[in-house]
Structure 1
Amino acid sequence: MTTRRATPKSSRPYMPGYGILDASGGRGLLPWEWAVERLTRSRNYWVATTCPDGRPHCVPVWGIWLDEAFYFSSGARSRKARNLAANPNCVVCPEDGIQAVSLEGVAERITDAAAIRRFVEAYNPKYQWDLKVETVLDMGPIFAVRPRKVIGVDATPGEFQGSATRWIFD
C-alpha cells in the first residue's frame, strides 16, 4: 500500500563559508520534484551506513525510487544489511555530484509481498534484468529508505549558491 506524504518543507541548508544566498520567501529554492527526478533516474547510488564499532561503511548499489522511498536489495549477510539491522539510519546519494542529492533516512526491511512485487516490476526494466520475486526472497532483504532530510545542490556554474535546498519531512 502506497502512503502519500505531504510535500516536504524546504529551506536553505546551514552551510557557513559557502556564500549560500538567502532564501527568504522561498526565493531560489529547488522544487522537491528536482530531487525526485535525480533519485529516480540515477543508475548507481551510494549507501552509507555505520558499523557497530562506529566506523563508516559506504557502498554502491542499484536501486529505485518507489512509494516515496529509495528501495534496494542486499545480501542477508552483507556488511550493509548487518549494519542496517543494528542501526537503520543511513544516507543515500545518487551518483551525480554536480546536481547532487543527499538523502538521510531510516531503512526499513520490506517483507510485504505486494511491495516486493512492485520493487521487482520497477527494477527489471530500469536495469534490463530478469529478477524474480522468489529470487529476491531467497537472496536477502529489500530495504526502503524513507527520507527524513534531503539536501540538493546544483553545482553547475553559477547555480550553486542560489540552489542549495534542504527538504525536511514530518
Structure 2
Amino acid sequence: MSDDAPPATTRDRPETETSYGIPESDDGLLEWRVVETAFADDEVFWVTTTHPDGRPHARPVWGVWVDGAFYCGGGERTRWVRNLARDPRLAVHTESGTDVVILEGVAERLDEGTADEATLARIDDAYEAKYGIRHGTPVFRIRPERVLAWSGFPADATRWRFDSD
C-alpha cells in the first residue's frame, strides 16, 4: 500500500456501522493526491465552526491549498471568524456530495504580525491564480488533523489521521 501523504500519517478506513458496507481490507483506499487535488482545484468550500452555545455554523468560503495546508479568510466581524477566535477547531468540506473530501483541523490566524512576508505572498499568489484577486490578511491556515474522502462510497472510503485520535 503506497500513499503520498505527509509523513506520520495513518491511512485506513473510517469506523462506522457495518451496515454501511465499508470494506475491511485496504484495497481501494484513495491516494493523498485526491485530497490535494480537490483542495487545489475546487473553488467553493464549506467551513463549519461552532457558535458559543455549541450550535454548528456552516458557511461557503473560497480557499487555496498551499504548502500542504488549506487557507481561507473572512472579515473580522463575520460570525465564523468570531467563532474561530473563541474555538479554532473546524471542518472544511468540498462542495460535492459525491466526490467528498472533509478536512478537520485547527485554524491558525495569519497576518503581518504572525507570518513571514514570503508565506503571505504565496497565499496571495494562489488566490490571485485561482480567483483573480489577492486575499490579504487575516487568513487562516488549517493543517489537516483528520481527513475523510470518497468518490465511490463505500468501496473507496478513506481516512487519514495526522495525530493520535
TM-score of the two chains, using structure 1 as the length reference: 0.85
Q: Percent identity?
A: 42
CA distance in 1, matches of 2:129, 2:154: 36
Q: Which residue of 1 aligns with 2:162?
A: 169
Q: Which residue of 2 aligns with 1:128?
A: 132
Q: For residues 11-65 of structure 1, what are the alpha-carbon distances to aligned partners after superposition, in whole Å with 9 as ceiling and x for unaligned?
A: 0001212111112xx3211111111111111010000000111111000000001
The 4+ residue runs of structure 1 with deviation greater than 6 A are none
One-letter identity of the residue aligned with 2:159: R
5+ residue gaps, structure 2: none
What SS does the corresponding residue of 1:29 show, helix, strand or coil?
A: coil
CA distance in 1, matches of 2:159, 2:77: 34
CA distance in 1, matches of 2:10, 2:155: 17
Q: How many residues align?
A: 154
Inter-CA distance 64–7: structure 2 relative to 1 (3 Å threshold): farther
What SS does the corresponding residue of 1:109 show, helix, strand or coil?
A: strand
Equivalent pair of 1:110/1:142 in contact (CA under 8 Å): yes
What SS does the corresponding residue of 2:15 show, helix, strand or coil?
A: coil
Q: Which residue of 2 aligns with 1:74?
A: 74
Deviation at 1:8, TM superposition (A): 2.1
CA distance in 2, matches of 1:161, 1:33: 19
Q: Which residue of 1 aligns with 2:27?
A: 27
Deviation at 1:94, TM superposition (A): 1.2
Answer 1 or 2: which has greater helix percent: 1
CA distance in 2, matches of 1:50, 1:37: 27
CA distance in 2, matches of 1:166, 1:43: 23
What SS does the corresponding residue of 2:92 show, helix, strand or coil?
A: strand
**Does residue 10 of the first structure (1) align with residue 8 of the second (2)?**
no
Inter-CA distance 101–85: structure 2 relative to 1 (3 Å threshold): same
5+ residue gaps, structure 1: none
CA distance in 1, matches of 2:92, 2:98: 16
CA distance in 2, matches of 1:98, 1:18: 15
CA distance in 2, matches of 1:81, 1:160: 32
Q: Which residue of 1 aligns with 2:102?
A: 102
Deviation at 1:7, TM superposition (A): 6.1
CA distance in 2, matches of 1:22, 1:5: 23
One-letter identity of the residue aligned with 1:148: E
Q: Which residue of 2 aligns with 1:44?
A: 44
CA distance in 1, matches of 2:141, 2:43: 17
CA distance in 1, matches of 2:69, 2:31: 17
Q: Which residue of 2 aligns with 1:65?
A: 65
TM-score of the two chains, using structure 2 as the length reference: 0.88
Q: Which residue of 2 aligns with 1:151?
A: 148
